[in-house]
């Protein structure tokens, strides 16, 4: 049995280097934060349309990530998408009447949940539900709205002129 110290040493170095690289990759280049510090609490929100929101997407306030989307499912009784989120325990003063909207990061970025603070004095806690939500913007709806507002404006001006004058005979 040859216990060649040099061989053992370099092998150990090699294996350590491998694990160090793995550690570096996992911590530095993935979005795995929130891992072990302090714990978290779960909060729910229901949306008519979540767009392309994915599990693991960020939950942020004022642009700062405070949590993650844990799961997304479809509730057949209310026909809405139910999004469960995990928020880091250090952010425990989010008013109960805050609203959650699905936003897009940048022009081509992924979607995330943005929370805007309300004014209530009670805060969200484990199991709370965010009542005020804003769904993801769907391109088709946006176009329809735009088209409707254009045609409405031209019709509207006509209507406005007519309405007050309806009492007087033209």
Cβ 110 to another protein shortest distance, Å: 7
Stretch that binds another protein, among 17-25, 120-128, 143-151, 155-163 (CB under 8 A): 17-25
CA–CA gap between residue 99 and residue 170 (Å, rounded): 49
Distance in angstroms (rounded) separating the CA atoms of residues 38 and 93: 15
Region of 16-24, 72-80, 92-100, 119-127 interacting with another protein (CB under 8 A): 16-24
Nearer to another protein by C-beta: 6 or 163? 6
Using CB under 8 A as the binding rule, whether residue 7 contacts another protein is answered as yes
Number of helical H runs and strand E runs in the chain: 2, 8
Tell which one of 37, 52, 56, 165 touches another protein (CB under 8 A).
56
The C-alpha atoms of residue 111 and residue 97 are separated, in whole angstroms, by: 22
Residue bearing tokens 């176009």: 143
Whether residue 50 contacts residue 81, with contact meaning beta carbons closer than 8 Å, is answered with yes
Give the whole-angstrom CA distance, residue 99 versus residue 168: 48
CB of 147 to another protein, least distance (A): 29
Residue 105: φ, ψ to 5°: -85, 110
Q: Does 116 contact another protein by CB under 8 A?
A: no
Q: Which of 5, 19, 73, 167 binds another protein (CB under 8 A)?
A: 19
- Interacting residues toward another protein by CB under 8 A: 1-4, 7-8, 10-11, 13-15, 17-19, 21-22, 24-26, 28-32, 56, 105, 108-110
């Amino acid at each position: 049995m040859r216990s060649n110290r040099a061989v053992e040493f370099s092998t150990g170095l090699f294996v350590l280097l491998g694990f160090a690289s793995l550690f570096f990759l996992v911590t530095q280049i993935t979005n795995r934060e929130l891992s072990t510090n302090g714990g978290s609490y779960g909060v729910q929100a229901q949306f008519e349309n979540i767009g392309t929101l994915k599990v693991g997407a960020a939950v942020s306030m004022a642009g700062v990530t405070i949590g993650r989307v844990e799961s997304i499912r479809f509730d057949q009784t209310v026909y809405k998408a139910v999004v469960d989120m995990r928020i880091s325990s250090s952010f425990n003063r989010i008013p109960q009447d805050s609203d959650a909207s699905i936003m897009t990061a940048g022009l081509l970025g992924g979607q995330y949940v943005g929370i805007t603070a309300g004014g209530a004095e009670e805060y969200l806690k484990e199991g709370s539900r965010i009542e005020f939500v804003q769904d993801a913007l769907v391109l088709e709806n946006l176009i329809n709205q735009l088209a409707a507002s254009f045609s409405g404006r031209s019709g509207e001006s006509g209507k406005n002129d007519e309405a007050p004058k309806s009492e007087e005979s033209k």
